Structure 1
Amino acid sequence: MRELTFGMNVSLDGYVAAPGDDLGWSMPSDELFQWFSDRVAATGLALYGRRLWEGMSAHWPTADQQPGATPAHVEFARRWRDMPKVVFSSTLGTVEGARLVTGDAVAEITRLKAEDGGPMDIAGATLAGAAMRAGLIDEYAIVTHPVLLGGGLPMFAALDTWVDLDLVETRTFPGGTVLTRYATRR
Structure 2
Amino acid sequence: MRKLTFAMNVTLDGYTAAPGDDLGWSGSDGPDSSPSDELFQWWSDRVAATGLSLYGRKLWAGMNSHWPTADQQPGATPAVVEYARRWRDVPKVVFSSTIGAVDGNARLVTGDAVAEIARLKAEDAGPMDIGGATLAGAAMLAGLIDEYVLVTVPVLVGGGTPFFTALDSWVNLTLVETRTFPGGVLLTRYETRR
Sort the TM-score into its range (normalised by shorter chain). Answer: over 0.9
Cα distance in 2, alignment partners of residues 165 and 141 from structure 1: 11
1:40 paired with 2:40, answer no
Distance in 1, Cα, partners of 2:170 & 2:79: 38
Shift of 1:154: 0.8
CA distance in 2: counterparts of 1:118 and 1:103, whole angstroms: 23
Counterpart Cα distance in 2 of 1:151 and 1:114? 35
Consecutive aligned runs of 4 or more in structure 1 exceeding 6 Å deviation:
none
Asked if residue 22 in structure 1 is aligned to residue 30 in structure 2, the reply is no
CA distance in 2, matches of 1:71, 1:22: 27
Kindly indicate whether residue 78 of structure 2 is the aligned counterpart of residue 56 of structure 1. Answer: no
1:151 aligns with 2:168: no
1:104 equivalent to 2:104? Answer: no
Q: How does 1:7-18 map to 2 (within 5 A)?
A: 7-18=7-18
Deviation at 1:80, TM superposition (A): 0.1
Specify the alignment match of 1:68 in structure 2.
Answer: 75
For residues 90-115 of structure 1, the C-alpha deviation after alignment (integer angstroms, 9 at most, x for no partner) is: 10100112100000000000000001
**Alpha-carbon distance between aligned partners in 1 of 2:155 and 2:74, rounded to the nearest angstrom:** 30
Task: Give the Cα separation in 1 of the matches to 2:36 and 2:20.
Answer: 23
Offset of residue 21 of structure 1: 0.9
Residues in 2 aligned to 1:33 and 1:159: alpha-carbon distance in whole angstroms:
31
1:19 Cα deviation (Å)? Answer: 1.1
| TM-score calculated relative to the size of structure 2 | 0.95
CA distance in 2, matches of 1:70, 1:148: 30
Distance, in Å, in 1 between the alignment partners of 2:80 and 2:24 is 17
Aligned residues: 186
Unaligned runs of at least 5 residues, structure 1: none
Aligned to 1:3: 3
Deviation (angstroms), 1:116: 1.3
Which range moves more in the overlay, 26-35 or 40-49?
26-35
The normalised TM-score by structure 1 is 0.99
Match of 2:185 in 1: 177
Q: Distance in 1 between the 2:163 and 2:44 partners?
A: 21
Supply the distance in 2 between the matched residues of 1:90 and 1:159 (Cα, whole angstroms). Answer: 24
Sequence identity percentage: 82
Structure 1: distance between partners of 2:170 and 2:62: 31
Runs of 5+ consecutive residues of structure 2 not aligned to the other structure: 28-34
Aligned CA RMSD, in angstroms, stands at: 0.5
